[in-house]
Amino acid sequence: MSIPYSLVLRHNQPGEPEQGNKTFPCAQVRTVMNLSDMAKHMTSHSSKYDKGDVMAVATQLTSCIREQLLLGNKVVLGDLGAFSVSLKAKAAPNAEEFSTSLIKQVKVKWEPSAEFKDLVNEASYEYVGTREAQAEARKAEKERLNALATQQPGEESPEEDEGGSNLE
């Protein structure tokens, strides 16, 4: 299995348009896996725990991590990494004028352990094109199949008319 990606154009250095656009890879999501999906997947690895056990532990762990973060604690979970919070706020001109009403967001930070930091040496990649290009290809394929489905016996297929190969 490989990480799907497409290519995008971006400024190499934000704020420096004279440098022009450069081509960068952009990871694409193949599937969104929720807790239930992950629990089912974990049990497929010859686990002695069933899906319900895995979900119960994960649900409780999530609740407890949230509780500890709201208390200002950092939670370190071995190979999973560490969770902590950072604050996003509007600036105050000085300490006397600061109030907690200036805090606009509490962000959860994940610090990956070594298990997650070196994925580049284990990863393989698969070019899949942009979501827009994939959608256009799916639309063209549906149109082609619809044209073939409505083709009368003895008619040339749309591929033959365009110089393509006949799939029949």
Alpha helices by DSSP H, listed for the chain, are 35-43, 51-70, 114-117, 131-149, 158-161
Q: Indicate whether 18 pLDDT > 80.
A: no
pLDDT tens, 70-101?
A: 999 999 999 999 999 999 999 999 999 999 99
Lookup: tokens for 11: 């400024």
Average pLDDT, the chain: 87
DSSP 73-92: --EE-GGG-EEEEEEEE---
Q: Which helix (H) or strand (E) holds 24?
A: strand 21-27
Per-residue pLDDT tens over the stretch 122-162:
999 999 888 888 888 889 988 888 888 887 777 776 554 45
